[in-house]
Amino acid sequence: MSRILIVEDEAIIRSALKRLLERHNHQISEAGSVEEARRLKPASFDLVLSDLRLPGEPGTEMISLAEPVPVLIMTSYASMRSAVDALKLGAVDYIAKPFDHDELLETVERLLHQQALAQGKTPELTSTDNQRQTMIGSCTAMQMVYNRIHKTAPTDVTVLVLGESGTGKELVARAIHHQSQRAQQPLISVNCAAIPETLIESELFGHEKGAFTGASAARTGLVEAADGGTLFLDEIGELPLDAQARLLRVLQEGEIRRIGAVETRHVNIRLIAATHRDLHEMSKTGEFRLDLYYRLNVMQVDLPALRDRDDDILEIADALLSQVCQRHQREGLRLTQAARRLIHEYLWPGNVRELENALERGVILAEGHLIHPEDLGLAPTNSEHLSRQARPPAERTRSLAPATETETETETETDDNEEEDLSLEDYFQHFVLEHQDRMSETELAQKLGISRKSLWERRQRLGIPRKKASRRSSS
């Protein structure tokens, strides 16, 4: 059992982190400041999670106090640039608040795995052929993905991962990194759509003091922070043209120039990019540089949509359900036959991410030891209609067991859930369209009670374009 020290001054966040990590078999100690943490001898732990801003001494003090124990820095989006500086001081990685539970757990497990390898111990999280057991499925399309990862990872070529939102593009990037020669170096993941257009160049490439209004000190960019390791640029199709030109130089010459700087700096990174958009078509309309597209598309990995992985859907559902039950401490729950049939027939426009969310709803709402269709909130009548209309004729003839009287009643009851879901989507669309002219993306997300990333994903799903910010004038 790994020992983890959490250094966080907000008791609510500290308590939530403790519960989450303890559910995944980690032994947790807590401290509200660097001074408290010092008394707990941080160097005796396996990993330290420290907030960046603490009362008294800053969280970066934990880096030297805990040495050689790795320190994971926690920070809000507003402090992202300070987090990059923390990496330069010796932090092994950072994660932004509010936390995505899966992302946090994946990061913690990866760091513990690396620490165990460095100490010559047998790691609790063992590597396997198929991406440390994070990717599930054995259909022909996924076997091709596994084969491409296995052949690509040991090389140092640039990789372009293509697939719809929610198919697991970041899992592919992590698998390639963990199986590469750079596995002991940092993996820096950046969602290009989640960073405001006016800040993206500064975040990626850094800037010098006085480069623009508000640049009171020089900052290291995320590309430079990934030096020696892997840089994963998710949704690279959202990258502005100016940033595309800078990225092209990184790939061609292996060097960057901070905003406002004269001299260049050499970097040694492996780039993995991902998108759900057709970059070649975008190049025809001038939205994406054709020369950058050819630089990115050295090796391509195509992830199939969940609806095209018919044989894998229930296998994935069972594996995800086991994880969700463990996370919510409700072991023993299982899906009814009606629920399994619904999962099998649903088209899954949100792919694996949508499936996991549905199962999490089911675990939370289930009254007994069974999860029924209405617990999943998937509007079965609508999904059956979609599957019959949209799937190929050969698949439409798949025989289904006749619904029992009880199951028919269940489907009728879920009509109300369908109407409620649709009204929530309508409310989201109405609110965003009404307020986006006078609110920033951050303010919209806060008002809706969701993260910026969730806001962007819902925009993509509902086809609501983001209002483009005016470009920063060049000096």
User: Which two three-digit tokens encode residue 333?
Assistant: 């729950």
Q: Is it the case that residue 412 has pLDDT exceeding 60?
A: no
Q: How far is residue 132's CA from residue 144's CA, in Å, rounded to a whole number?
A: 17
Q: Confirm if 4 and 25 have CB atoms less than 8 A apart.
A: no
- Residue identified by tokens 């008791």 is 11
- pLDDT category at 385 given cuts 50, 70, 90 is very low
pLDDT score for 239: 92
Quick: pLDDT tens for 86-101: 777 788 888 877 777 7
DSSP state of 219: B
Q: Confirm if 162 and 279 have CB atoms less than 8 A apart.
A: no
Q: Is it the case that residue 392 has pLDDT exceeding 80?
A: no
The whole-model pTM stands at: 0.55
Quick: pLDDT tens for 284-315: 999 999 999 999 999 999 999 999 998 889 98
Q: How far is residue 346's CA from residue 348's CA, in Å, rounded to a whole number?
A: 6
pLDDT score for 119: 59
Distances (CA, A) of 458 to 164, 249, 379, 452: 13, 33, 18, 10
Q: How confident is the prediction for the chain on average, in pLDDT?
A: 80
pLDDT score for 475: 40
Of 68-82, 130-144, 163-177, 435-449, highest mean pLDDT: 163-177
Instruction: Confirm whether 1-126 and 138-304 share one CATH topology.
Output: yes
- pLDDT category at 348 given cuts 50, 70, 90 is very high
- Residue identified by tokens 């970066």 is 60
- pLDDT category at 414 given cuts 50, 70, 90 is very low
pLDDT score for 82: 67
pLDDT score for 118: 61
Name which of 278, 350, 340, 275 is nearest 307 in CA terms. 350
Arithmetic mean of pLDDT, 34-58: 91
Give backbone dihedrals phi and psi of 170, rounded to 5 degrees, phi first: -70, -30
CATH code for the domain defined by 1-126? 3.40.50.2300
Distances (CA, A) of 76 to 51, 95, 98, 264: 9, 8, 7, 30
Q: Is it the case that residue 120 has pLDDT exceeding 70?
A: no
CATH code matching the domain that covers 308-415, chosen among 2.130.10.10, 3.40.50.880, 1.10.8.60, 3.40.640.10: 1.10.8.60
Residue ranges per domain, the chain? 1-126, 138-304, 308-415
Arithmetic mean of pLDDT, 255-272: 89
Name which of 291, 254, 297 is nearest 275 in CA terms. 297
Q: Is it the case that residue 340 has pLDDT exceeding 80?
A: yes
Quick: pLDDT tens for 225-249: 899 999 999 999 999 999 999 999 9
- 3-state DSSP assignment of residue 78: helix
Arithmetic mean of pLDDT, 141-167: 91
User: Which two three-digit tokens encode residue 451?
Assistant: 């993260």
- pLDDT category at 424 given cuts 50, 70, 90 is low
- Cis peptide leading into 393, omega within 30 of 0? no
Give 299: exposed, middle or buried? Use CB within 10 Å, 0-12, 13-18, 19+: middle
Q: How far is residue 21's CA from residue 112's CA, in Å, rounded to a whole number?
A: 13
More confident residue, 77 or 335: 335
- 3-state DSSP assignment of residue 232: strand
- Residue identified by tokens 């998108």 is 275
- pLDDT category at 212 given cuts 50, 70, 90 is confident
Q: Is it the case that residue 279 has pLDDT exceeding 60?
A: yes
CATH code matching the domain that covers 138-304, chosen among 3.40.50.800, 3.10.20.440, 3.40.50.300, 3.40.640.10: 3.40.50.300
